Amino acid sequence: MSDTNRRQFVQATVASLAAASLFPRALATERASPDDPALTVALPCGEAVAAPWTGSPLKLSFRIGSAQWLSDAQWRKLLDLLGAQRPACDELSLFTHEAMGWFGTVDEMTRDAELMARRIREAHAAGFRSVGINVLCTMGHGDPVGEWSPEFVLPPAVGHNGQQSTHCPCPNSVPFREHIQAKYQLFAQAKPDFLWVDDDVRATHHGVTYPCFCPLCLATFGRGSDRAELVRRLNDPAEHELRRAWVEFNATTIESLCRDINAAVRAVDPNIALGLMTIGSSHSTYGGHALDRWTAALQAVKGRPGHGFYSDETPRGIFHKALDVGRQVRDYSPSVTEIQYELENYPYVALDKADRTVLNEVYLALMMGCNGAAFNALKGAATGTLDDYQGLVAAIAAERPAWEALVDHVADLPAVGYWPADDNALMGKRGVDASGWFWEGGVYNIHQPNALVEMGIPLTPIRSASCGTLLAGKIAEAFSDAELQSRLSRGVLMDTCTLEVLWARGLGEFTGVRPGKRVLGGAVETLTAHALNGRFQGDHRDALIESTDNVRVLELVQPGAAELARLTGYDDRDHGCCLSVYENALGGRVAVSSYVPWRRLGSLCKRSQLTELADWLAYQKMPVRIEAFRRVAPFVRMSADGQRYAIVLLNATLDHAQPFELRVRAAARNAVLQSRDGTVPLAVTPGSGEVCVTVPQLPPWQPAVILGS
């Protein structure tokens, strides 16, 4: 398509979408009654009924793919499915009829919006008080593969390497901004209760990984018009300020887009609630991950934190997603009061994720600060039977009472534990070496310490509520010297990559050790006679060193630094210290582990050592201690005075976790086990500054929900 034709098409699109007469007059007036002739579907409920949601803080939503609402027959099947288990669903969110990389024509979107308006009226009549629209494509999720997608006519996004996206627009172009505002106004005219902005409103992965370097964006950024030269400078290790400015430019671009969407919707109906779906910062911090600013600009009252965890293929990924979700909840603006966890089972094959997994996800999400869930679990690409989802919907309905009790109990309680360090502007703040700037992960992977939660070490996304810090890889590069000294004045567990960063910054003396020679392989960790090792002196752990582990001997350089473990070669050679502890001049306690600190930790000697070490680093104030040899992950929310707490313990194995004693650093003397069937009192033994709770047997991948008061 020529530039002239492209411009004419966009102008015609905007003019058509902005027209005031898109819908019949009846759709702009009061919602239809159940006996309205327009309702061609026989509603399963008969007459309008009260929605199951009665003001509880918990709200459960189902996200409905267009395949389920495009035809009357399939729509009826959906209402039958959800109508049979009303406690499972308070709200319906209808996806627009788009694919992940699709910007439809005016006629298509208008026809779809008219039908969606009718479906909203029908769902209201069927008893669903809250029914809205999820706009699937705003910035575009990616470039589709194949010939099924419509022609793309907006100015494309351009990557740092000069590659153009085929189906994702430049986010700053005027045609795109006009198009997207008109698009949201079109769907606002369908009179939804709310509109969701999907998670393609992000800085990266829009067909090209790191956009946008088109001439317009370069001119707007104002640091030169030559893409190759700007990329060269961004890859220059000395250009710290330029990288921070580019990340801020990306964040500001999304902020202004959210402001445009908000203004467009408010112009149609100021009462439509707006929500922003987000993803975890582990995906990318190229756009500054400024969730507080983006939700504020959108005037969002709904947030939907998400990330990738689609099936049971890698079940321990549930912990990565939970912590990613907690960070997103932490960063939303105060306007966001309704936080629905994104339960995502893409591509919606019922047997690929167990119902139990879905229920576990919601428990962890509620412990991370959500007060609801949005289930994207029903088939989205085909019509036909929905019988394969009956079990899941029934399981959700049955679990609702326990979720409601948990949400009520944790209100205002902060998540406590160790903070795995993260920074939303990490990519702009980190160092750059010969490998260049345009990559993430590896030593900048904030998920590395998450494995500790399966060893009984509670984790929190909230730095201010933490009992200590986990510094992995080179995340420390994101923090100022003052921030690092603040962390080092308390409890810190770090690896040798972090140790190298601290010595380069002139802060290494606070760790008590210096990185020594590298050991490439053929060595095990041997525990010393230190008191924190208890009865495990001389025990070994073989974690199978990999080339990227940066295993190094630690040289003790400060008086008082002590060894907890040494490196022993397969040939019995003693290489030197590999785990140290030190109390520094700042009053902090620091442990440095140079032997695979975040992986293969599940041996009795190592797990026991970790429990003692973590509690020592926290000055004996780690919120919970699990003394027994179990792979049970604790998630804890607790009041500052210890009078109220909630603990979710998830058995992360296929074995039964036999009953064990849980030490809780709390004053609350009463504890109950909460389940879908109600509560059961637990035996509580008071101690000095803590209580001991007897936890019953946990079946494989089952949670224990303990509420203390």
pLDDT tens sequence across 159-200? 999 999 999 999 999 999 999 999 999 999 999 999 999 999
Q: Are the C-beta atoms of 591 and 492 separated by less than 8 Å?
A: yes
**Which pLDDT value is given to residue 526?**
98
Between 547 and 583, name the one with better pLDDT: 583
> Is 80 exceeded by the pLDDT of residue 101?
no
Model pLDDT, residue 148: 67
Task: Indicate where the chain has its CATH 3.40.50.880 domain(s).
Answer: 415-622
Class of CATH domain 415-622: alpha beta
CATH topology of domain 630-709: Immunoglobulin-like (2.60.40)
d(Cα 288, Cα 296) in Å, to the nearest integer? 15
pLDDT: which is higher, 16 or 637: 637
Instruction: Please state, in angstroms and rounded to a whole number, the distance separating the CA atoms of residues 346 and 77.
Output: 21
- Residue 11: predicted pLDDT: 53
Q: Residue 314's pLDDT is what? A: 95
Digit-coded pLDDT (tens) for 661-695: 999 999 999 999 999 999 999 999 999 999 999 99
Quick check: bond before 212 cis, omega within 30?
yes
| pLDDT of 17 strictly over 70 | no
pLDDT tier at 107, thresholds 50, 70, 90: confident
Q: Average pLDDT, stretch 642-654?
A: 97
**Whether residue 376 has pLDDT greater than 60:** yes
Mean of pLDDT values over 14-31: 37
Give the percent of the chain with pLDDT over 90.
88
The pLDDT mean for the chain works out to 92
**Mean of pLDDT values over 483-491:** 98
Question: Per residue in 334-371, pLDDT tens?
Answer: 999 999 999 999 999 999 999 999 999 999 999 999 99
Residue type present at position 109? M
What are the tens digits of pLDDT across the range 496-534?
999 999 999 999 999 999 999 999 999 999 999 999 999
233, two tokens: 């400078």
- What are the residue ranges of CATH 2.60.40.1180 in the chain? 630-709
Question: What one-character-per-residue DSSP string does 519-587 give?
Answer: --SSEEEEE-S-GGGGGGTT-EE-----GGG--EEEEE-STT-EEEEEEEETT--EEEEEEEEEE-TTS
Convert the pLDDT of each residue in 294-335 to its tens digit.
Answer: 999 999 999 999 999 999 999 999 999 999 999 999 999 999
31, pLDDT greater than 50 = no
Determine the average pLDDT of the residues in 230-244.
98
CB atoms within 10 A of CB 62: 26
pLDDT in tens, 415-444: 999 999 999 999 999 999 999 999 999 999
Residue 504 CB-half CA count within 13 A:
11
Sequential DSSP letters for 652-686: -SSS-B--EEEEE------EEEEETTEEEE--EEE
